[in-house]
């Protein structure tokens, strides 16, 4: 049976994985960034140490560090078991084995848990849930969604995706979503209708290849930007990469 989960789980990727998944440049990392559904990822902690400006939102931030640690521990065995059962769905290139994956993820999540109390009191970890975000328009330059939208297409319907992305576009100049696959490493059925919806609403939507592939075939992100005044979506489509 392909990789599947009953619910959306807290699971955390590293700063470097975020950089690769979203093809973040040095310049991108100087901009105000929103991470939507960052969970116990290491991106916020590490970018903050590097002097960046980042806010993460996730419903799990309503809980304390101990409760989140307990949820991670409950999740860990199930994710490892399913990864072992479905090893063929992944590319064992940078991460060479299921054991190494487990060690790497737990190190990242421990880093998050250490940073969480300070980050929460600094307002870097906010308990908010897409599709309703409590920020003024254009608060961020970049909004990133890793392993939530599209990945959980079986849990979150097309309406949720459209509302969540519209809200991310309201609060941020540009939105990047990775991966375009769902659990089981098959293409998400929501990618095409989302692309059509936002192009029809005059947004620029591009599929961009990125230097990251762990789920087999998961090496593209979706970039969605408001079209600048004076340019039409059609003009920009001509310049889009495949
Ligand atoms: C699989 S984790 C991914 C964590 C991180 N982005 C990464 O890639 O390492 C998915 C996260 O999405 C969060 N989540 C679930 N529903 C959400 C919603 N409506 N808005 C924001 N985050 C949500 C979960 O709590 C969980 O922490």
- Asked if residue 202 has pLDDT above 80, the reply is yes
Q: How far is the CA of 38 from the centre of ligand 1 (A)?
A: 5
Name the superfamily (CATH) of residues 15-239: Vaccinia Virus protein VP39 (3.40.50.150)
Q: Which residues line ligand 1 (CB under 6 A)?
A: 8-13, 36-39, 41, 57-60, 129-130, 146-148
Instruction: Decide: residue 93, CB within 10 A, 0-12 exposed, 13-18 middle, 19+ buried.
Output: exposed
**What confidence category does residue 141 fall into, taking pLDDT thresholds of 50, 70 and 90?**
very high
- Alpha-carbon dihedral sign for residues 130, 206, 53, 106: positive
Q: What residue spans define the domains of the chain?
A: 15-239
Give me the residue label for tokens 């307990």. 70
Please report how the helices 158-171 and 191-200 are oriented relative to each other, as an axis angle in degrees rounded to 10. Answer: 50
pLDDT the model gives residue 230:
57
| pLDDT tens digits along 65-112 | 999 999 999 999 999 999 999 999 999 999 999 999 999 999 999 999
**What confidence category does residue 233 fall into, taking pLDDT thresholds of 50, 70 and 90?**
very low
pLDDT the model gives residue 231:
53
Residue 34, CB-side half-sphere exposure with 13 Å CA sphere: 31
Going by DSSP bridges, is the β-strand pair 181-182/203-209 parallel, antiparallel, or unpaired?
unpaired
pLDDT > 70: what percent of the chain? 94
Ligand 1 atom closest to Cα of 12? 9
Give the residue whose CA is nearest to atom 13 of ligand 1: 37
- Alpha-carbon dihedral sign for residues 51, 29, 214, 116: positive
Full-model pTM = 0.93
């Amino acid at each position: 049976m392909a990789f599947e989960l009953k619910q959306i789980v807290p699971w955390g990727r590293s700063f470097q994985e975020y950089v690769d998944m979203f093809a973040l440049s040095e310049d991108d990392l100087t901009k105000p960034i929103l991470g939507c559904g960052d969970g116990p990822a290491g991106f916020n902690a590490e970018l903050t140490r590097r002097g960046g400006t980042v806010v993460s939102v996730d419903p799990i931030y309503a809980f304390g560090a101990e409760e989140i640690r307990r949820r991670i521990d409950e999740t860990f065995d199930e994710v490892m078991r399913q990864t072992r059962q479905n090893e063929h769905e992944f590319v064992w290139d940078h991460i060479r084995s299921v054991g190494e994956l487990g060690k790497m993820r737990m190190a990242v999540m421990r880093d998050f848990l250490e940073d969480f109390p300070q980050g929460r009191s600094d307002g870097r970890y906010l308990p908010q849930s897409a599709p309703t975000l409590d920020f003024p328009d254009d608060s961020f330059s970049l909004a990133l969604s890793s392993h939530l939208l599209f990945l959980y297409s079986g849990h979150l319907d097309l309406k949720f995706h459209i509302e969540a992305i519209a809200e991310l576009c309201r609060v941020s100049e540009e939105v990047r979503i990775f991966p375009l696959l769902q659990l089981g490493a098959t293409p998400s059925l929501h990618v095409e209708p989302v692309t059509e919806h936002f192009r029809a609403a005059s947004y620029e939507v591009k599929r961009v290849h990125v230097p990251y592939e762990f789920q087999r075939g998961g090496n593209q992100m979706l970039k969605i930007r408001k079209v600048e005044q004076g340019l039409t979506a059609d003009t920009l489509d001509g310049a889009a990469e495949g």
